[in-house]
Amino acid sequence: MSSPSDMSTPPDELSARAIGLFVAINRRYAGEAEAAAAAQDLTPLQAKALLATMDPVPMRAVADKLHAEPSNITAVVDRLEERGLVERRAAPGDRRVKLVAATDRGRTAIAELRAAMPFAGDPLGALGTEQREALCRLLELVVGPQERQA
Amino acid sequence: MSSPSDMSTPPDELSARAIGLFVAINRRYAGEAEAAAAAQDLTPLQAKALLATMDPVPMRAVADKLHAEPSNITAVVDRLEERGLVERRAAPGDRRVKLVAATDRGRTAIAELRAAMPFAGDPLGALGTEQREALCRLLELVVGPQERQA
DNA sequence: GCGAGGTGCTTGACATTGGCAAACATTCCA
DNA sequence: TGGAATGTTTGCCAATGTCAAGCACCTCGC
């Protein structure tokens, strides 16, 4: 849980309030995601991996999407495969590559995961269009000049 | 890393942009914190625990602050204590309680951690006062009616 | 066409984190 | 005073993360 929750460098009051709000939003998201995953008897990481396999993708792509080492993804996909949620296929054109693809059961689980994460589906639901745009502009300022990275 | 990064429920475009920005801010924070901890040869959790011990606090309080089980904090504090960054003291008034307090070396490490986390110290530095207030208002709307919780 | 080097995936060893049950001392309350 | 609750520790186990090594395969240059 790498969130600002507790790295308490004491900032000014408004910053502290903003940090608290970020943490709260993060928790709302993470809590929802964790509950949704648990309802499918999955860990959050397994759920993320499953969600990444709607279309067949190489192991490597899953690892990149989850910001994890490919070697770790092997075990995660192993568990998903044991449960029949995912299958490994040969990739046409490169026999080194294994494509991970959700099975029918996997796609059902994906649908239920998404249904159980309404906040993730519409996080800005409480905001009007102008407010959404204003929020994005402000967040961009906070992010600052960031490193480009897919 | 429980961040929205990859629980890809496909939302509308503005929401997607906002999610990306949240993730980017989270990463900026977490990356800075992780680097700061690593510079002290600490894990992020160890660093958080250390930061919580500026003043002597019961183990239980450290656990609460880090949203972890007290039983897990035992091992974390053990490592900090082995390295002389922290010490356990008896608590006056309740002989069950052990207070964890940063040593001089620990306080030095805390200062260096904070110095290495400028973004955490002033996350809204790029914003003016009105922008900060606007941001907080918008974030409060996004959080929504939240459960009260220290 | 052949070999060197790079890429994709897996395996293994290991440390850290997280949850949970059990044990122990101590405190609190009826 | 006795039973319940609290604070801390220990142990076990699953999951995650980093790292090095290995195997299969592809690619590039000669």
- Residue A63 structural domain: 12-117
Model confidence pLDDT, tens digit, residues A66-100 = 999 999 999 999 999 999 999 999 999 999 999 99
CA nearest to B49, candidates B38, B40, B61: B61
Q: Any idea which of A94-103, B17-26, B138-147 has the lowest mean pLDDT?
A: B138-147
Distance from C-alpha of A52 to C-alpha of B7, rounded to nearest angstrom: 8
The answer, for A91 touching chain B at a CB cutoff of 8 Å, is no
Distance A55 CA to C19 C1' (A): 34
Sign of the CA dihedral A88, A90, A91, A96? positive
The pLDDT score that the predictor gives to residue B14 is 84
Residue nearest to nucleotide D15 (CA to C1'): A43
The pLDDT score that the predictor gives to residue A10 is 60
Binning pLDDT at 50, 70 and 90, where does residue B147 land? low
- Whether A41 is in a domain gets the answer yes
The pLDDT score that the predictor gives to residue A138 is 94
Select the more confidently predicted residue: A72 or B17. Answer: A72
The neighbour count for residue B98, using CB atoms within 10 Å, is: 17
- Whether B88 is in a domain gets the answer yes
Task: Please give the nucleotide, over all strands, whose C1' is closest to the CA of residue B79.
Answer: C16
- Whether A45 is in a domain gets the answer yes
Distance from C-alpha of A17 to C-alpha of A13, rounded to nearest angstrom: 6
Q: In B, residues 99-138, which contact A (CB 8 Å cutoff)? A: 113-114, 117, 120-124, 126-127, 129, 131-136, 138
Answer yes or no: is pLDDT of B24 > 80.
Answer: yes
Answer yes or no: is pLDDT of B51 > 60.
Answer: yes
- Whether B71 is in a domain gets the answer yes
Closest chain A CA to residue B125: A142
Binning pLDDT at 50, 70 and 90, where does residue B111 land? very high
**How many domains is chain B built from?**
1
Q: Where are the beta strands (DSSP E) in A75-136?
A: 86-90, 98-102
Mean pLDDT of A41-55: 97
CATH of the domain at A83: 1.10.10.10
- Whether B145 is in a domain gets the answer no
Show residues of chain A in contact with B113, CB under 8 Å: 7
Counted across chains A and B, CB pairs separated by less than 8 A come out at: 190
The neighbour count for residue A16, using CB atoms within 10 Å, is: 14
- Whether B32 is in a domain gets the answer yes
Select the more confidently predicted residue: B1 or B17. Answer: B17
Instruction: Mark residue B31 as left, alpha or beta (left: phi above 0; alpha: psi -120 to 50; beta: remaining).
Output: alpha
Answer yes or no: is pLDDT of B54 > 70.
Answer: yes
Residue reference for tokens 């680097």: B35
Binning pLDDT at 50, 70 and 90, where does residue B149 land? very low
Distance from C-alpha of B115 to C-alpha of B133, rounded to nearest angstrom: 26
Mean pLDDT of B133-137: 94
Structure tokens, A86: 């995912």
- Whether A122 is in a domain gets the answer no
Mean pLDDT of chain B: 90
Binning pLDDT at 50, 70 and 90, where does residue A150 land? very low
- Whether B146 is in a domain gets the answer no
Mean pLDDT of chain A: 90
